[in-house]
Amino acid sequence: GWSLPRRVQRPSHARWLAAAQSFLNCAALRGYGHGCNGGGVGDVLQYMERFGLPDETCLHYTATDHTELSSPAEGLTLEQHHCDVRNMCRNCMPKRKRDTPHASDDDDGDEEEEFHCWGIPEPITYSLESHGMVGTEGDVDASVSAMMSEIYQRGPIVCAIACDDRFDYGYDGGIFNDTSLTGDDVDHDVEVVGWGEEDGIKFWIARNSWGSYWGNVGFFKVQRGVNAMVIEDGWCWYAVPNVSVEQSVRNGEMVGSMDGLIRRS
């Protein structure tokens, strides 16, 4: 999981998640991560700081990446094709066939309904003002303090963790406290949203990315202050979102249309 959607909701009135599918369709071709073969939090944050991402209403998650998209037309590179607006933000509905440079040449539906899909060239996008790391490698106390301060002041953070089958398949809803793994075992990232204490045991509250069917409706608890799962080893990230595009709509400078945002006259 990653924390930017929650942070976007604080300065913004939106309740949307960022479009992970838009990232998967394009980012690896621009040198950020490896699509469905993995990547790091830094890949997402650096990509968003440079290019921005629309929200999930633009393109719903399909658990695929650029390798599953159609081949580019002659003369186009993979990046030009897969990072085209149709693979970043798209609308489909029965209507008159559109004569726009972003319209698809494919008729995806019944000819009588003239069902048609087209790319949205100017959607609302979210970028970053800044991002960075939280905590100190090798200093659990300093990391705990920094993590709590960042979450309290600005919202959820993302932390790298080390987990194996005991966590993946054996988490039973309690406070997970495995301290046997090391930094060499780090292989996953989760969103840390808060903390608490039960029966004298301090813990973090974190959101996994495996769906609501896992854990406590997608969340879990991990012991705090003992570097369980290597969560307090300084490999956490924060991000400060830029919601200026959305704000330009809310303050009346821009208005949405079937082709995205247009400036109000």
Catalytic annotation, residues: 188, 208
* Whole-angstrom distance, CA of residue 121 vs CA of residue 86: 8
State phi, psi for 89 to the nearest 5 degrees: -155, 130
* Whole-angstrom distance, CA of residue 249 vs CA of residue 122: 12
Strand order in the sheet with 219-223: 53-54, 125-134, 236-242, 157-162, 186-198, 201-207, 219-223, 175-176
Residue with tokens 């249309």: 257
Q: Which of 198, 158, 193, 145 is nearest to 176 (CA)?
A: 198
